């Protein structure tokens, strides 16, 4: 019978703005589908067996926490990169998203190396980009709406080997300039959407679960769930943007 291993990376250190809710959503939806799963919490200093991991979640953190986990995670970079190239699934939010890139330039001009796994870099800005955000993502056809909350000073710019997770409809996104939000490479998704993201965007949670199952070449039938509560949460998130245009879109989700 199909089953997956979900790894939660540094749960005490990377948990800004409700990011832990993403793990809760993944586990609950797996239970509702009848998909067996094992949840593994990984803490700094512990061995990470990426060969057994199917779906890795990395939340956001403050600067101190990010520096701490960055130093620890660099010990595992080669194993992490190999797993990504083989198709392991990752959702990385905010600071963890930045960490997967090439570098982060601080407001003082110092360059902090990232893991150099994703083709992107981040520069600190003078003004934080805060508020509710709505994007249209082409992970699906037709595109689906993703709604969340962003709070970041970093401006992230994508290179040619990654593609955006979505196009900003309301909010700032990666840098407030090019209307891009997040990044996708293989089965890796990086995003600035907090809030938590998955409970109010169940189609993204299901996308991650399906990819995790197929990563091990397993077969599993995902029967439709009653997502009435999740859809209401999504529509409420859209209404928080204050745009009639978004309200109309939410009625068609």
Residue keyed to tokens 């993204």: 204
Q: What is the DSSP letter of 171?
A: S
pLDDT digits (tens, 9 = 90+) for 151-165: 999 999 999 999 999
The verdict on residue 215 lying in a domain is: yes
Which stretches within 100-219 are classed as H helix? 202-215
Please identify which of the residues 13, 194, 234, 246 carries the catalytic annotation.
Answer: 194
Q: How many domains is the chain built from?
A: 1
Kindly report the pTM of this predicted structure. Answer: 0.92
Domain CATH for 78: 3.40.50.880
pLDDT digits (tens, 9 = 90+) for 15-66: 666 678 999 999 999 999 999 999 999 988 888 899 999 999 998 776 666 6
Residue keyed to tokens 């570098």: 103
The verdict on residue 138 lying in a domain is: yes
27 is catalytic: no
The verdict on residue 163 lying in a domain is: yes
The verdict on residue 107 lying in a domain is: yes
8 is catalytic: no
- Assign 3-class secondary structure to 12-73: CCCCCCCCHHHHHHHHHHHHHHCCCEEEEEECCCCCCCCCCCCEEEECCCCHHHHHHHHHHH
**Low pLDDT (below 70) residues in the chain:** 13, 15-18, 62-67, 242-253
Are residues 59 and 16 in contact, defined by beta-carbon separation less than 8 angstroms? Answer: yes
Domain that holds residue 99: 4-223
The verdict on residue 121 lying in a domain is: yes
pLDDT given at position 11: 79
Please identify which of the residues 8, 13, 94, 152 carries the catalytic annotation.
Answer: 94
């Amino acid at each position: 019978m199909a089953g997956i291993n979900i790894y939660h990376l540094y749960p005490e250190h990377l948990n800004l703005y409700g990011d832990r809710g993403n793990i809760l959503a993944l586990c609950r939806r797996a239970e509702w589908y009848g998909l067996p799963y094992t949840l593994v919490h990984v803490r700094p200093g512990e061995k990470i067996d990426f060969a057994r991991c199917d779906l890795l979640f990395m939340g956001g953190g403050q600067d101190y926490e990010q520096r701490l986990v960055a130093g620890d995670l660099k010990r595992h970079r080669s194993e992490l990169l190999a797993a990504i190239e083989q198709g392991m699934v990752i959702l990385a939010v905010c600071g963890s998203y930045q960490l997967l890139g090439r570098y982060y330039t601080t407001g003082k001009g110092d360059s902090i190396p990232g893991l150099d796994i994703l083709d992107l870099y981040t520069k600190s800005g003078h003004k934080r980009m805060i508020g509710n955000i709505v994007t249209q993502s082409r992970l699906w056809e037709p595109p689906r709406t993703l709604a969340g909350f962003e709070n970041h000073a970093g401006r992230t710019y994508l290179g040619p080997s990654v593609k955006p997770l979505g196009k900003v409809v309301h909010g700032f996104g990666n840098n407030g300039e090019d209307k891009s939000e997040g990044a996708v490479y293989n089965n890796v998704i990086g995003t600035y959407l907090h809030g938590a993201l998955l409970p109010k965007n169940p189609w993204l949670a299901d996308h991650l679960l399906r990819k995790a199952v197929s990563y091990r070449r397993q077969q599993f039938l995902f029967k439709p769930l009653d997502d009435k509560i999740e859809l209401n949460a999504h529509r409420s998130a859209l209404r928080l943007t204050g745009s009639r245009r978004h309200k109309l879109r939410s009625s068609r989700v």
